[in-house]
Amino acid sequence: SQQGEEDPQALSIQEGENATMNCSYKTSINNLQWYRQNSGRGLVHLILIRSNEREKHSGRLRVTLDTSKKSSSLLITASRAADTASYFCATDADTGGFKTIFGAGTRLFVKA
Amino acid sequence: NAGVTQTPKFRVLKTGQSMTLLCAQDMNHEYMYWYRQDPGMGLRLIHYSVGEGTTAKGEVPDGYNVSRLKKQNFLLGLESAAPSQTSVYFCASSYFGDEQFFGPGTRLTVL
């Protein structure tokens, strides 16, 4: 079974709008990561947030983490057509950081 | 600095054939991983390694074997390929279990 579950499964927005994706997980974690995958390519790391952090920013990305609800959200502000991709959350599933468990992803489509 | 490379990029096998996928990284990372990705799904961990000479099972290890004889290389073997192993395989590495760097993937079809 997968640790992280993203919501929604797919999201279509206009360029310039904000995109919000959510991730829920089941067990305690040490950190949670977000990755992007362009069609047919390998994943690219976006941001990592540790369990003792509540919010983190990187450029147009904002990630929040609520360990009491076992959930995280990724906000992409002022989206661009180039942001079209699949976005995955990944957790270390409280295994000492040895294993990373990925969710099924959110497919984001940004219309120009 | 090539990052993470995978060989081959594409392969078609017949049921019962064997093959080895090679992953190489030049970042001196301790951890390496093999994942498979099926259509519409996220990545599932097959095997991983936390250092040279060590390997461990992930979520879906059955039908696969791995070896990490050198720190920079992580090999994934299929001893007797089955159609259920048709997938895209990704290798990744990380320094100590945090940010992972991914290879471009190997698209495998088993007929």
Residue type, position B107, single letter: R
Residues of chain A with pLDDT under 70: 1-3, 93-98
Inter-chain CB proximity A100 and B97 less than 8 Å: yes
pLDDT tens digit string along B29-40?
999 999 999 987
Give the whole-angstrom CA distance, residue B29 versus residue B31.
Answer: 6
Inter-chain CB proximity A44 and B45 less than 8 Å: no
Contact predicate B83/B15, CB 8 Å: yes
Report the share of chain B in percent with pLDDT over 90: 87
- Residues of chain B positioned with their CB less than 8 A from the CB of A48: 98-99
- Write down the pLDDT at residue B98: 83
Q: Which of B35, B98, B104 sits opposite A31 (nearest CB)?
A: B98
- Write down the pLDDT at residue A94: 54
pLDDT tens digit string along B2-24?
899 999 999 999 999 999 999 99
- Write down the pLDDT at residue A97: 54
DSSP state of B83: G
- Residues of chain B positioned with their CB less than 8 A from the CB of A35: 100
**Which residue has tokens 């081959």?**
B8
Q: How far is B16 from chain A (nearest CA, A)?
A: 27
Half-sphere exposure in the Cβ direction for A86 (13 Å, CA): 20
Cβ contacts of residue A93 below 8 Å, gap of 6+?
A3, A25, A27, A29, A99, A100, A101
Q: Which of B35, B48, B90 sits opposite A98 (nearest CB)?
A: B48
pLDDT tens digit string along A76-105?
999 999 999 999 999 986 555 567 888 889
Q: How far is B6 from chain A (nearest CA, A)?
A: 11
- Write down the pLDDT at residue B53: 95
Closest CA to B75 of B25, B26, B2, B11: B25
Q: Give the chain B residue whose CA is nearest to the CA of A32.
A: B98
